[in-house]
Amino acid sequence: MLTTATLCAQEFHLQPTPQEYITQKDSVDIPRQYQILSGNSVQDGPALPLLRSLMPEEVLGASFRVYIGVKGDKIIKKYQHRIPRKSEGYFLKIEKDCIVIAGADERGAYYGVQTLAQLLALDKLPLAEVTDYPDVPYRGVVEGFYGAPWSQEARIRQLDFYGRNKMNVYIYGPKDDPYHRTPNWRKPYPAREGEELKVLVNRAKENNVIFYWAIHPGQDIRWNEEDRSLLLQKFESMYQLGVRGFAVFFDDISGEGTSAEKQVELLNDIYHNFVKVKGDVAPLLMCPTEYNRLWTKLEGGYLATLGGKLHPDIGILWTGDKVVACIDKPTMQFVNPLLKRKAFIWWNFPVSDYVRDRLLLGAVYGNGTDIDDDISAFISNPMEHAEASKIALFSIADYAWNMDAYKSDASWRRAVRYLMPGHAVALQVFASHNSDLGGNEHDFRREESEQIRPALERLLDAYCREGKREVAAASAVTEECERMIASADLLLASDENPALIKEITPWLIQFKLLGEYGREVLCMLAAQCDGKKTELEKAASHAKALQVLMKKIDA
């Protein structure tokens, strides 16, 4: 018979979904005393400090041992053959008297510790083996939307979230940062803003995230030595702040800055005279002017010029067949031959800067699960609402890590529970009705309110065809309205995730009003069908008042 703790472990789901997770029918108490034995390769990285923060009661000479190292370290020599031959891979083994964390590299060891952190949340540690690695080399987020940039506090929470979810890239490029683009891209950041960026860079390192700083010079760049020198000086100033990842954006511009030849010349110069000279920075990235298929003019040769002349080590960002589109095999078969490299995917979801009255809290679906060998990265552009974006980002991390195992609905439910475990049901109700973009310029839509759609359709059909009320359908819709009202109240009153509730409060108020309005409309329908004029007038009066209140809500 299995213990309660073992049952909990069986129901437990590691995030992101590992490549292989094998548990035995047994578990071990989380040790009160233990000794950590580490290899030389993890001494300077964030893996060892994270491990010690999770298991703070280290005692020299304790019988329970925790071994951590990287392939080649003597301390884990016995387990070398179990380490995946994949970048950022790791092998984790939990036994009765020891824990082993063996990484293919330093980041792999760190991810092994992050997996252990999740297992330590259980009442007991399952005797288990995890063999794991990511499908996509670079996974993360680009803060690249129009509108209010994230706050310093939100970015710090984001970077911690990336570390826990095994995302390794954050690209800083908010369109409304004047020192990122026109007019001040040539100027260094003021002291206060520079110090804030330095804090973020250090926080990224603690979470084993590459902090990319992007510059957006294309709208007013002059193709001369002076601007080239100023751009390199700006990069040098960012390097001094600790930045070790750099990108140049040429998206959403017009005029002379759109020249492929000039862009290539500048980027190759940056690569040879900055990236290679420094020797310790991540691959250079660029966002092209023609960054999606819809805008590509094959006869003009823009992408062919990039593919043929841009140094092959420079990554090229790509949003897909349109500005906002899901990514699949045909997408990659079109663009990769032109770029002569695997595209660095910039997925414009859940970004909402073109539908700012909407929250996009639904499931992440529509991308191919057979494209892991066709892309170099999968990076999400999120909403200006940083905490609310985590529902989608959680699943994007899950998808990019292990595409074969990705199940969108299950991942979405886990994401909701991750953000508000104490109010997961209420948040799920709210999120299920706040996922579609509505009509928009990019013709990109998402499923919304699917659970109640059949009842609504039956209700409307019966009323429009025969002027009657379909009782069962009306009852189902009424119950959903009641759930909406109660969910809004529970979330508004909750102190479980203050940052999230603060972001979504206007929508929660509107959501409750909408539930109340729906309930009154159903009362009107019942009163009309039953010939109860007084009740009809009463419900209609309340419904009109609710309409007035809904119009006053603004976000």
Q: Report cis status (omega within 30 of 0) of the bond before 350.
A: yes
Write out the two tokens for 304.
Answer: 């062919």
**Spatial CB neighbours of 313, under 8 Å, sequence gap ≥ 6:** 271, 283, 284
State the Cα–Cα distance between residues 302 and 296, nearest whole angstrom: 8
CA–CA separation, 350 and 364 (whole Å): 9
Q: Are 367 and 328 in contact (CB under 8 A)?
A: yes
Q: What is the distance of C-alpha 20 from the center of its chain?
A: 23
Q: Cis ω on the peptide bond leading into residue 16 (within 30° of 0)?
A: yes
**Rounded Cα gap, residues 258 and 256, in angstroms:** 5
Sheet bearing 20-29, strands edge to edge: 20-29, 124-132, 90-94, 98-103, 65-70, 35-38
Write b or e for each residue in 164-190: b if 16 or more Cβ atoms lie within 10 A of its Cβ, otherwise e.
ebbbbbbbbbbbebebbbeeebbebbe
Give 426-484 as a 3 state SS string.
HHHHHHHCCCCCCCCCCCCCCCCCCCCHHHHHHHHHHHHHHCCCCHHHHHHHHHHHHHH
Of the residues 26, 160, 252, 328, which is catalytic? 252
CA distances from 539 to 387, 475, 521 (A): 37, 17, 7
As a whole number of angstroms, the distance between CA 210 and CA 346 comes to 16
Residue 526 CB-density burial (10 A; 0-12 exposed, 13-18 middle, 19+ buried): middle
Whole-angstrom distance, CA of residue 170 vs CA of residue 157? 12
Has 176 been annotated as catalytic? Answer: no
Give residues with Cβ within 8 angstroms of 167, minimum separation 6. 139, 140, 141, 161, 209, 393, 397, 400
Which residues are the active-site residues?
A: 252
